[in-house]
Structure formats: C-alpha cells, structure tokens
Amino acid sequence: MSDVGAIVKPTFDAMKLKAEFPILARTVHGNVPLVYLDNAATSQKPRAVIDAITKYYECSNANVHRGGHALGAEATALYEDARSIVASFIGAQPNEIIFTRGTTESINLVAASWSSMMGETLKGCTIVVTEMEHHANIVPWQMACEKTGAVLKVIRVHDDGTLDMEHARELINDTTAFVSVVHVSNTLGVENDVRTICALARSVGALSLVDGAQSIVHHAINVTSLGCDFFVFSGHKLYAPTGIGVLFGRANVLESLPPYQGGGSMILDVTFERTTYNDVPVRFEAGTPNMEGAVGLAAAIRWFTALDLEALRVHEAELSERLLRDLNTIDGMRVFGPQTLHAGIASFVIDGMHAHDLGTLLDEQGVAIRTGHHCTMPLMKRFGVTSTARASIAAYTTHDDLDVLSAALLRSVRLLR
Ligand SMILES: *Cc1c(COP(=O)(O)O)cnc(C)c1O
C-alpha cells in the first residue's frame, strides 16, 4: 500500500498506558494473567491518581472550608481546584459543580430537591425516562412520583437497541415537567441523541437531566452544547476513586432548588428558630465532603486529558468494532444493541448457555467480564432475558486483551456445550 495521500490515523499505545495501572500487572487464580474487561462497572486507577491521593494524605489533609490553619487552607484550595478542573472538563462554571458520592446520589439529589420544591403542583404531570435507564435513573423518579402524584412515562427502545425518537416526540409534551435520559447505555453501549431530547424538553418548558456515567469516559462533553439542565457522572468509571461523583446543574436552576441534606457547610447562619442556607454549590454539600475523592478525581481528569484523546477515540472505535466482529463469529451468539459502534460496551448471550456459567469459565481463564442485569432490569425484560454477559473496554485495553477474550470464549463454548 502506498503512503502517498493516505490518511494517517493517530496511533495510541495502549500497551504503554497499561503499565501505568499497577493492578493490571497482577495475576488471578494461581498464575493466570488478568484481562480486565469490566470497565463499564468500574475502571482501574493509574499510578498518577493513586499517588495524588497518597500525597494528599501525606502533605495536605485537613477539613475544608473551616480555615484557621495552613493545612486547612491547602486542603480547601485543592478541593476547590478540583471543582474548577471538573467544570472546565465539561464546559461549565465552578459554581455549577456539586460533588456527590456518584451518579446515583447526583440523580437522587435532583429528584428529591426538585420534587420537594414542586410538591403537589406535579400532580398529573409527567416525568419522562427511557426503557434503557440504569436503576439509578428510574427509582429516584418513582420516589418523586409517589411523593407528588406525577406520572412516570417511558420512551421505548427499538428491537435494535436504539431509542424510539418518534415515541420521545410523542411523550415529551405539555404535561411533561422533567426529562431524564441516559447518554450512553451501560448495557447496550448505544448512544442516544440527548441533544435533541434536551431541546424537546426545553421546548415544552421541562427540565432535563443527562446520565453521563458512561459517556464521560468515551466522549468529549460540553454541557452547554448538549443543552441539558443537569449532567451527572461518577468518578470511578473515569479512572478516579469511588465515592466521588459530579452533579452539574445550570446556575439559575441550582439557585432555585432547596437543599437536599442539612448540616455543616451548607448553612450561613443557624439559630433554633431559623437557618439561612449557604450559596450554591456548597448549599448542596452538607457535612465534610470527600476531599481525597475530589483530589483523586482532579488527578484523573488531568491524567486523562493529557492523553492523545483523538488517538484514543480511534483506538476505542477500532476495539469496539473488533469486539463485535469477534463476538459475532461465535456460534449461537446474540449481541444486543445495534451492529455498529458500541462505545466499547457489548452485551451478549450464547444459545444454551447461562451468562453466569460463561462468566465463571471466563474468570477461570483470567478474563473479567460482567454477567447479570447490569442494573437495567426493565431493559432485560424488553429483550426477554434475565441476564447477559457484558464485555467493556477502557483506554488501557489492547488487541491482545481481545485475543485472550476470543480464545477464552471459544474454549468456554466447547466446555459448556
Ligand atoms: C454506573 C452507572 C450508574 C450508577 O453509577 P454509580 O457510580 O453506581 O452511582 C448510572 N447510570 C449509568 C449509565 C451507569 O453506567
């Protein structure tokens, strides 16, 4: 092949990157080399993140926002720097970023605070989600409905796993008060046109929330161009520690919301007669926050954005295609979702085989995948299964990893049949 005029694809050295993740060097089950393909559940952490957390405890740990001494000031500066880093990562302002425990708490915060503000005015109004939501984007809204008399409506998923946008246009109407949708499905890997959905919500005067738990890892996110009122994600799927997550809310919307929890930090003045609340965002961060988590998340975003992201996207797209191709060569294979790009996530079942048995056999061969309902029981029901096997990639996934997966799958099929 001639190089002249060829488009040079950026190359991404995933093998080199892998060396930055200490855990990926370990073995399992005696001495089997680990291949970790459960990244949609949680990602592993690079040395840069582990070191940042250690350094925080060795050098700067103190409670934040309480002042009075050097360490307190340093810890506060690190915590607030983390807020700024998160804000610029998604195109927001620092006062629009609330630190939470994760995606789940972020959605609960919005659902609880907003529904308590709206109260009975929501009676007969609709809250719209999709059939492919994670339980974290279903249950908090059911709780809000129970409290207010609002009604939950569900946008259907086509047989190929894509969202029925006609149905979305039908359901998002004058009665709609809130629309909450997943950006990239953690089960199917399918990406939804959330920009259009948020525009539909806005056109009927409804608020919108985008669950970005998966998209934050594989897409450049700009909350302004998405047009959402809220955007949520967890640190732990983005190479950061567990127990830290993000709620982005548009400044004027956050200003209008009542507190979610009461306690220290979120107040300006407290007497037994009356308490005045602090400004956004600390109004929503009652108590001592997860400082090490914020520091770790900032380190993860710094580490991640220093990668060649264009080359990474090409690498991940190649691996996604390859993963689907490999899976489809296996006899009796059924891959859920569209037969195109899957954002590095593929859910599948094999005829005559229980997903859990398959998972166990793969595990014995060193391959970690997930089996189960992936916290999307309604979606499982939609496709007439109770569980699937799910393989999901990350920046450190290599073609060698997929070779091991393919070989292990073939071996498992032989053993189980
Ligand atoms: C992981 C995930 C969640 C829940 O995230 P937590 O970190 O468990 O709070 C919600 N939605 C999607 C799409 C996810 O992938």
Give how far Cα 17 sits from Cα of 9, 12, 304, 306, 362, Å.
Answer: 18, 9, 11, 12, 24
Are 287 and 371 in a shared domain?
no
Are 274 and 148 in a shared domain?
yes
**pLDDT value at residue 5:** 55
Cβ(248)–Cβ(97) under 8 Å? yes
Query: CA-to-CA distance for 386 and 380, rounded, in angstroms?
Result: 6
Range 169-192 average pLDDT: 97
Mutation probe of ligand 1 site: the residue of 38, 100, 104, 110 with most atoms within 8 A of C-beta: 104
Range 362-373 average pLDDT: 97
**Among 125, 145, 198, 375, which one carries the catalytic annotation?**
375
Are 218 and 330 in a shared domain?
no
Annotated catalytic residue 375: yes
Q: Which atom of ligand 1 is nearest to the CA of 182?
A: 13
Q: Which of 288, 305, 322 is the last residue of a domain?
A: 305
Q: What would the pLDDT profile of 57-105 be if each residue is shown by its tens digit? A: 999 999 998 778 999 999 999 999 999 999 999 999 999 999 999 999 9
Q: How far is the CA of 4 from the centre of ligand 1 (A)?
A: 46
Query: CA-to-CA distance for 196 and 67, rounded, in angstroms?
Result: 45
Protein residue with its CA nearest to atom 5 in ligand 1: 103
Mutation probe of ligand 1 site: the residue of 132, 370, 375 with most atoms within 8 A of C-beta: 375
pLDDT higher for 361 or 7? 361
Number of structural domains, the chain? 2
Range 286-299 average pLDDT: 97
Chain centre to alpha carbon of residue 38 = 13
Q: What would the pLDDT profile of 121-130 be if each residue is shown by its tens digit? A: 999 999 999 9
Strands 245-249 and 97-100: antiparallel
Q: How far is the CA of 104 from the centre of ligand 1 (A)?
A: 6
Q: How far is the CA of 156 from the centre of ligand 1 (A)?
A: 20
Are 191 and 338 in a shared domain?
no
Q: What CATH number is associated with residue 186?
A: 3.40.640.10
Stretch (H or E) spanning 361: helix 355-364
Are 292 and 312 in a shared domain?
no
Q: How far is the CA of 245 from the centre of ligand 1 (A)?
A: 10
Are 32 and 72 in a shared domain?
no
Mutation probe of ligand 1 site: the residue of 234, 236, 297 with most atoms within 8 A of C-beta: 234
Are 331 and 268 in a shared domain?
no
Query: CA-to-CA distance for 273 and 323, rounded, in angstroms?
Result: 62
The verdict on residue 45 lying in a domain is no
Q: How far is the CA of 103 from the centre of ligand 1 (A)?
A: 5
Q: What CATH number is associated with residue 352?
A: 3.90.1150.10
Helices and strands, counts by H and E, the chain: 15, 17
Percentage above 90 pLDDT, the chain: 93
Query: CA-to-CA distance for 28 and 124, rounded, in angstroms?
Result: 54
Are 181 and 113 in a shared domain?
yes
Q: Which of 255, 283, 305 is the last residue of a domain?
A: 305
**pLDDT value at residue 2:** 46
Q: Helical H runs in 212-308?
A: 215-218, 223-226, 251-256, 291-305
Residue with the two structure tokens 């425990």 = 101
Are 75 and 138 in a shared domain?
yes
Task: State which residues form the domain around 379.
Answer: 14-36+308-416
Query: CA-to-CA distance for 14 and 161, rounded, in angstroms?
Result: 29
**pLDDT value at residue 11:** 86
Q: Which atom of ligand 1 is nearest to the CA of 104?
A: 9
Q: What would the pLDDT profile of 306-360 be if each residue is shown by its tens digit? A: 999 999 999 999 999 999 999 999 999 999 998 877 789 999 999 999 999 999 9
Are 196 and 267 in a shared domain?
yes
Percentage above 70 pLDDT, the chain: 98
User: Residues lining ligand 1, CB < 6 A?
Assistant: 102-104, 134, 136-137, 182, 186, 211, 213-214, 234, 236
Query: CA-to-CA distance for 252 and 255, rounded, in angstroms?
Result: 5
Are 152 and 286 in a shared domain?
yes
Say which residues have a Cβ less than 8 Å from residue 31's Cβ, sequence separation at least 6. none
Are 267 and 356 in a shared domain?
no
Q: Which of 305, 323, 344 is the last residue of a domain?
A: 305
